[in-house]
Amino acid sequence: MHSKPLLAKINEDYPKLKDIQNSHDFDGLINYLVTILNIKCSNQDEENDLKIQMLVVSDFLKSKFGSLTIEEIKEAFKMYAAREFSKIKVFRLLDCISIGEVLQAYTEYRNDSLRSYNSQKQILLNTIPEKTAEEKKEIRLKFIEMLYNEIKTDKFSNNAWLLYDEFYASGKIKISEEQKKELYNQQLLIYATEQRTEISKKNNLITKPLLLDLNTKIQSGKPIELVKNKCKSVLVCDYLKKNMYDFETFKNAIL
């Protein structure tokens, strides 16, 4: 357990595909897959078809293999190109079927390879003692210091939402259901504007489906977790900004 295996490292030390918000990272993955398979286009029509196909591939990866990391997918296709999956014949083809075969083979290979490692890790996890009250206090103090510095510098902290439930339960934050809805709608408008601005900077071929996906998400009426957390951070920061005289005052407002 002193040296973490590569397959464990790329699985545990990087964000899962479903959690990645930066489209640049995802575009980089698609470009990597196209390059490693040496897929080339001989004319503009083929290039346009490839771009459309990659939109489908991107959606397929997110929906069916979102628990993998970008590094795992790259490793899987390196193994594929090196013919390490004996049951799969190598083609210079990148569609949902071939991706499904490669990543399924990789997942099975990884699980078999890490069986011993995972067993050892579970044993260690079961023997790790719970943090002492003093350790928990120290962790909380560091979090409070981080919040203080962020709010002092930027007048806001995206991490402040972590205190919302605690503040709401203690009565430090008082807000009606109607006010919650109003705040959510305000932040939803900001979120939608920011997302549309970001999408407008992308390649024209993917702008339309991305905008459609965004509009569908917004119009579904289902609360968006990022927006909910932003609302909570706004409320917590509004309360804490009244206690920014010095760090001791700030800390006591939380404790």
CA terminus-to-terminus distance, the chain: 39
User: Is there a single domain that holds both residue 245 and residue 151?
Assistant: yes
User: Is there a single domain that holds both residue 158 and residue 232?
Assistant: yes
Taking the CB of residue 44, how many other CB atoms lie within 10 A of it? 8
User: Is there a single domain that holds both residue 165 and residue 122?
Assistant: no
Q: Residue 1 domain-assigned?
A: no
Domain boundary among 126, 142, 161: 126
The whole-angstrom separation of Cα 199 and Cα 193 is 10
Taking the CB of residue 233, how many other CB atoms lie within 10 A of it? 20
Render each residue's pLDDT in the chain as its tens digit; 255 residues.
446 788 888 998 888 988 887 778 888 898 899 898 888 888 888 888 888 888 888 888 988 999 999 999 999 999 999 999 888 888 878 888 889 999 999 999 988 888 877 777 777 666 657 778 888 888 888 989 999 999 999 899 988 999 999 999 999 999 999 999 999 999 999 989 988 888 887 766 667 777 887 888 888 888 888 899 999 999 999 999 998 888 999 888 887
Domain boundary among 126, 157, 186: 126
User: Is there a single domain that holds both residue 113 and residue 143?
Assistant: no
User: Is there a single domain that holds both residue 47 and residue 22?
Assistant: yes
Q: Residue 24 domain-assigned?
A: yes
Residue 89's pLDDT is what? 82
User: Is there a single domain that holds both residue 75 and residue 115?
Assistant: yes
Residue 1's pLDDT is what? 44
User: Is there a single domain that holds both residue 143 and residue 178?
Assistant: yes
User: Is there a single domain that holds both residue 111 and residue 35?
Assistant: yes
User: Is there a single domain that holds both residue 119 and residue 141?
Assistant: no
Residue 173's pLDDT is what? 92
Give the range of the structural domain holding residue 217, as residue numbers without chain letter: 133-254
Domain boundary among 126, 143, 173: 126
The whole-angstrom separation of Cα 15 and Cα 60 is 18
